[in-house]
Amino acid sequence: MRAAAISTPKLDKMPGMFFSANPKELKGTAHSLLDDKMQKRKPKTFGMDMKAYLRSMIPHLESGMKSSKSKDILSAAEVMQWSLSLEKLLANQTGQKVFGSFLKSEFSEENIEFWLACEDYKKTESDLLPCKAEEIYKVFVHSDAAKQINIDFRTRESTAKKIKAPTPTCFDEAQKVIYTLMEKDSYPRFLKSDIYLNLLNDLQANSLK
């Protein structure tokens, strides 16, 4: 992972991550992010052209692909693996993107964004931990966070104390809470969603061509 300059630390670009790399900008953008969040509360429909949506996310569907060992091509077998566990789904970068799109349709994309931020944080060089920990806390954990995650008060307070002397594991407790929330709540619905089932059906149909 490319380490950012100490003077202007920034999180690596990751699927679903949209927060500012400059902590000073967070306060100024908080209201706009919240406004965007409220605007997104309008009902969304995915049934009008699901094939076009999936093609835009998985370009290989457009070409009528067949099964391949190439890392750049998504296979039906690979997508079927996502149904085995949330761990399998999140271990796959395309799986992260597809699940993230589903969470966005449910207005809960902050969960996977926080989980991914925590995974990235654990790989951070020690001298960059304080700045990155503060940014993640302000964006996701603080009681006034623009993308506040749904964790209990005790976990929120415990995390606030841990980032005062940040270690690679200071977000582990909160990350576990969010993982469990996704595993028990969002993940089962994802497996029954049009986004997942249509993607799987298209890949299976293309593999027979």
CA distances for 140 relative to 59, 97, 150, 202, angstroms? 32, 19, 9, 35
This prediction has a pTM of: 0.68
pLDDT of residue 196: 97
Instruction: Considering only residues 16 and 193, tell me which one the structure prediction assigns the higher pLDDT.
Output: 193
Contact 198, 51 (CB under 8 A): yes
The region of weakest confidence among 43-52, 67-76, 162-171 is 43-52
Q: Which helix (H) or strand (E) holds 116?
A: helix 110-121
Q: Which residue has the higher pLDDT, 127 or 27?
A: 127
Return the domain boundaries, the chain. 74-207
Q: Which CATH number fits domain 74-207: 3.30.420.10, 3.30.70.660, 1.10.167.10, 1.10.10.60?
A: 1.10.167.10
Amino acid (one-letter) located at 174:
A
Mean pLDDT of 86-111: 97
